[in-house]
Amino acid sequence: DEDAEWERMVEARSKIETILNELNDEVRAEEDGKAGEEHLLKLKEQLTMAQQRLENTVKDEERVKVELQGLEKAKELSADGDKENDDDDDDLFGEDDDEEDEATKATKEKQKASLQSHLDTITTLLQTQSEQVARLDAAYHEAEAAAAATSRGERSNLIAALSKKLCRDKLWHYRDYNEYVSSILEYRHVMDIKGYLNLIKEGNQAIRKKASTLGGASSSKSSKDKNKRSKRFDWDLYRTCVSEGLRDICYRFVLSPFRVGIKLEETHNKNGFSYERILPGDENKPDAGEPRQWMTPKIEDANPQEFASELVGSGELVLLSTARDDADWQDNPEMNDPLKGCRYVAAMELAHEPRIRRVLRAIYRSEAVITTRPTSKGLGIIDGFHEYYGLHLLRNKPVKEHFPMDAAELEKRRARLNAEEVKELDAELKLKETNSCIQYLNMLKAERSGDISIHVHLPFVGDVSGNDKPWYKCELENLGRDRQDVGKFMEALERVYFPADNDTDEWNDERRKILKMALVNYLLPQFEAETRRDLKDVSTKVGVEAAAQTLRDMAMEGPYRPSHLLGENRFIVPTGDVPIVGVCSSNDPKDGTFLAAVNGRGELTDHLAIPGGTSITSEKIREKVITFLMQTRPAAVVVGSGAGVGCKLTARRLGEVITQATERWNNRLIQGQDEDDEDFEARMQTFRLMHSNIDDDDDEVWKCNVDIVDDNVAQLFGRSVRGKKEFPDMAVNLKVAIATARWAKDPLGELAYTWSSASDAGVFGTEMLFLNIHPLQRLLPKPMLLREYERVLCDVTASVGVDLNGACTYDHLHGLLTFVPGLGPRKANNLKQSVSRIGGVVSSRKSLLVKRLMGPIVYNNSVAFLRIRATDHLQDQLLHPLDDSRCHPDVYHRNKWAIKIAVDALELGDSASNDSEDYAITALRDVMQNSRDEIERLFNATKAEWEAHYGPTFNVGAWDPREAVPAESWRDKVEELDLETFAEMIEENGNGKWLTHLTMIKWEFRLPFEDPRKPMEPPSGENLFRLLTGESDVTLCPGKEVTGKVVKNGDFGSQVKLEGDVPGFIPLRNLADDHVEAAEDIVSVGTIVTAIITEVKMDHMCVDLSLKMEDFKKKSSQWGRPQSLPPLDDFFDREAAFKIDEEKEKERESRLRALRLTIGGSSGTKIGGDSHDADGGDGTQAPRTGKVTRRACAHPAFRNASHSEVDRELKEAGDAMVGEALIRPSNRSCDSLAIHWMVRPGCIKVIEVHEEDKDTDASIGNRL
């Protein structure tokens, strides 16, 4: 990333140098203008030479392309005719062999890279030479036309007038800008210089074109130029003003912009400026060091009006507008100000000067603030329970909180702190910056949905609120840039822009107008846009990092550890490759439930389908499930969470079935009390037929448990191209069940498998974008996300390691090879094919080179991350123990330091001279076994010591020998060795520094390829609630209104089913404000109720509700803010939020009063606190009036508004409302509604809806 940024800046620097050289060449041409013929001949000669060089470069380009094509063809032929040449593989193990072919290949690769680099250089040179030919051609034709049209004297006068208008010495300095460009390290500042020089260049071209026209020059080239239009349309007025000579006039009373920039930069950074400063290259000039150059020029004995009148009278100053006889002209004196054009030119060039922009940009960054306002849509839906609450009324929050602290200020704060305090400060600032950036991403999300608007600005002068409107409802016209406080900018600029020895107020007012115009019209809009881009960029970067960290947490989740192993420590009793059954159920009764059994390597061994609508508890299905489980005997059954709340019931029922199955299996050899010999023998015979591979003497105890796991990745696999390719004829839910079991076995393997599928465009990892990894991932650029995801998977894979034989044998594990350092998709696929050609199994790391499965460079880079684990195919072979460790073969094959450490630790003495491999493997196995025994001893000692002090509360699973055991407690043989001295001896012999490797060898003896991932923890509490319901403490929180259906009345209250099948409960005491004897007195089964949440019991998967009116009347602020949401910002306007809440509360109370009218006998709907009939309790229904009235509707899309008001709200929300609809009472009759549906931007379709079975005029019909 840094290289790409640097290359972009180098390219911009080269373009700036080109522009500077062009400006410098133009100056030289003007200085040489007196020698017209000589100059014309010189230009012609330069043009001819440039054209010749261009032709030679084109020929070189063609030649290099031909050579590159030849190399590519030779490479293809070589690839088809031979394999990769690895003749020098044995050299890694101390043997000498021929390296001719590899050297030839490397030479060709270097030659190709050199030719490609040469081609890139030629392409750049070709572009530069083409521009030079075009520039010289234009200059030649212009000079030729001028020479033909004017005499020598006229030409001299034209050049003098042209030089006066160009004001070269006042706008740029060749040496100064060259040095300034080379000192800049930020791309934005480089582009500032380019923009300024382009502005000057366009102005100069306009002046020359005007002069050429006045001089009578005419040519085909100049005629074509007249018809050309600049790319910058907004510079048309600037070119016009400059061509009329206003640049020369304005710099008679203001200082030149590049000198203002130098003064401003040094004054701001060094708190002072020396007026004797000499620009680089001007040391030998007569006026070098003259202070007058740095002082603002003054017009003596004339005010601005007199000065302008004199110039207008002489014809030197041209008016840009013609006087008119109307009121606007008389009321606006600025329109007939003759110096208006001069101020415009000065402001434009001042606003583009790079040093000025750099200083003022820093001031803007320190002073700018962010303000958010709710839109009309946001005002209606954002309340205390909304996710955007707290983001919609931010007022004047400093922008600098979203960026790292200024280096100078940070250094001052660090100077007073010690090392530990500095570390805490950095962590605090990093956390603050991260939270601010995540907050801004949420603000962008809210702005995209049309709920809020974001404004970046300087603090306003005075109160921006209107007389009758709060600040968040003011029109944008009241928030113009002319209302922003630019005091600091003006103070900094006036200090260097105004004359040092004072001037009249009239002339200072002119200069002040220039500064104000430069700031308000040009700099502030650009700074606002830049700041918003920077805020988005830095927030996006933080958001991508947050998403990558979430993915890292997912990838660092280890394999599921069955409950019967939780009493053992994983370093002593590893989980191993256990069989698991995955379960996928569905909310849709038409879809069946599938059980899929996978073996230790993740292969499908058997499956069971339970038809849709069939319960596991039925006798027939129960027996099928028990038989299936006894045949597969999994260590655990994992139920995917895709079916929502129903998964919990499925898991509970499966737990009961598993208990029966394990009891039946473990007691299969025991004759029951009510079972005679014949029945027992018949049962055993049936069992032997069903389980023919089981011996009667097998006394294995089968243990199994059931848990719920996240099946987010598994659901994606069931519907992906990968799933169709691997299991083409299987149902989607069966594939999900298989992937659920695989996820429980190895989450990292499933994530890598997800990445391995390429899109139609050939981009890997696009499936990862469909995973719900981070809530803000939809706002983040997909290429950035995929790049970070790839880096995360590479890091985690390198930490965990990859079983080479497993990854080359099984498709679902092959994706891991892609992320092994040194490999990648192409090399990983080639390695898999090579392994399959030699029989599908690799017995040692050394054989990767011996059998030419990979080249030496790839081998060196990747071999330490590849594991050779014991498999059924390798039972008869003696495996090297360090081939299943993180040790690189350099330390046990080439240098044999690991073997020496093992031999010395075992104190074998002279026997160390034995150089056989079997002897080395035996020594390694012995020392590794000694270390394993030591780990078990340390665990038992630590556990005994803990229980002696604190009782039986020792956390067996959390004990980690790397962290829990101090160095002095280790007593294994390898600990007795002085590895530091050994490393010093190696270094003294000239073999480099190897202490880190030796230390790693020691720990690999103890914990070979120890898995850094902690075992998967099944979700519980809040995580399980969120996983099964899709709800969080934001979407379901105390105080929020919800609607549900009463499903059961009991002695203690009413059970309610909410949306998403979330179970709710209304206690008897919360059914009404008065005393309630029975729930049936208030609500009946089937009643739709609108209630208030009083408590969310996530552990019990239940929500407590209330129908009491006192709960409905509570304000949102009284319920408390959800814990998962960040605390309200310090710059959140609580007073404005309180006012909005009060307005909504009044509207809500009126709505509640109106809603009572809907409590009729036929409505079947209940609103909180209403225990009487609509008329107050006498059982009669309120009469209908037949008039169109306001409706009592709580739906968020309903508006009691007119046709034009609803249309205006939809249109103001913009594209965010496309596809959305708002509903209002129709004006046609009291029994109809109108739906306003935004089909596309600006196009709204109105649909009439007729209401039937209405209770009152204010209610909504029960049938629509």
Report the 3 state secondary structure along 1073-1104.
CCCCCCHHHCCCCCCEEEEEEEEEECCCCEEE
Other beta carbons within 10 Å of 1208? 13
252 Cβ neighbours under 8 A, 6+ residues apart:
297, 299
Supply the pLDDT for residue 230: 47
Which amino acid is residue 830, in one-letter code?
Answer: N
480, 458, 460, 456: which is closest to 536 by C-alpha?
Answer: 456
Q: State the residue for tokens 């508004």.
A: 1201
Distance CA 170, CA 1116 (A): 63
Supply the pLDDT for residue 649: 87
Q: State the residue for tokens 């007691």.
A: 667
DSSP characters for 89-135?
A: GGGGGT-----HHHHHHHHHHHHHHHHHHHHHHHHHHHHHHHHHHHH
User: In the numeric block, which tokens belong to residue 161?
Assistant: 């007038």
Strand partners, 1103: 1064, 1096
Supply the pLDDT for residue 100: 44
Supply the pLDDT for residue 470: 83
Please, are residues 532 and 365 in contact by the beta-carbon 8 Å criterion? Answer: no
Supply the pLDDT for residue 691: 66
- Cα 900 to Cα 909, 933, 967, 993: the distances in Å are 11, 21, 22, 17
* Pairing between β-strand 866-867 and β-strand 705-709 as defined by DSSP bridges: unpaired
Supply the pLDDT for residue 752: 93
Distance CA 1184, CA 1173 (A): 16
Supply the pLDDT for residue 1183: 57
Distance CA 208, CA 222 (A): 11
Strand partners, 764: 758
Distance CA 657, CA 660 (A): 5
* Pairing between β-strand 369-374 and β-strand 397-398 as defined by DSSP bridges: antiparallel
Which amino acid is residue 903, in one-letter code?
Answer: V
Give CA angle at 478 (476, 482), nearest 5°.
Answer: 110
Supply the pLDDT for residue 1172: 43
Please, are residues 482 and 554 in contact by the beta-carbon 8 Å criterion? Answer: no
Q: What is the mean pLDDT of each run of 10 residues along the chain (1264 residues)?
A: 78 82 72 57 79 84 82 65 44 43 64 77 80 79 66 57 72 83 86 89 82 55 45 77 85 88 87 82 78 84 85 79 52 69 90 92 91 88 85 89 80 84 88 89 90 89 72 71 86 88 85 91 91 92 92 92 86 88 85 90 90 83 88 90 86 90 81 72 74 63 90 90 89 92 92 87 86 89 92 93 90 91 89 87 88 89 88 77 89 85 78 65 87 90 88 86 86 86 85 86 87 88 86 84 87 86 88 85 85 88 88 79 82 88 78 55 48 43 64 79 87 81 87 91 90 79 85
Q: How far apart are the first and last CA of the chain?
A: 59
SS3 letters across 467-512: CCCCHHHCCHHHHCHHHECCHHHHHHHHHHHCCCCCCCHHHHHHHH
Buried b (16+ CB within 10 A) or exposed e, 293-303: bbebeebeeee
Please, are residues 771 and 548 in contact by the beta-carbon 8 Å criterion? Answer: no
Distance CA 820, CA 806 (A): 14
Over residues 864-906, the pLDDT tens digits come to 999 888 777 777 777 888 888 888 998 888 888 888 888 888 8
Supply the pLDDT for residue 370: 92
Which letter does DSSP use for residue 455 in this model? E
* Pairing between β-strand 1221-1225 and β-strand 557-560 as defined by DSSP bridges: unpaired
R_g (Cα) of the chain, nearest Å: 41
Please, is 15 exposed, middle or buried when counting C-beta atoms within 10 Å of its C-beta (0-12, 13-18, 19+)? middle
Report helix angle 811-818 to 825-837, nearest 10: 130
1163, 1192, 1181, 1179: which is closest to 1084 by C-alpha?
Answer: 1163
Supply the pLDDT for residue 92: 42
Please, is 423 exposed, middle or buried when counting C-beta atoms within 10 Å of its C-beta (0-12, 13-18, 19+)? exposed
Supply the pLDDT for residue 232: 67
The HSE-up count of residue 622 (CA atoms within 13 Å, CB side) is 11
Which amino acid is residue 459, in one-letter code?
Answer: P
Supply the pLDDT for residue 330: 52
Supply the pLDDT for residue 878: 79
Q: Note the pTM of the prediction, 2 decimals.
A: 0.80
Q: State the residue for tokens 């379960």.
A: 583
Over residues 327-346, the pLDDT tens digits come to 554 555 555 778 888 889 99
Over residues 527-548, the pLDDT tens digits come to 999 999 999 999 999 999 999 9
Distance CA 241, CA 345 (A): 7
Distance CA 486, CA 516 (A): 9
Distance CA 1046, CA 1231 (A): 29
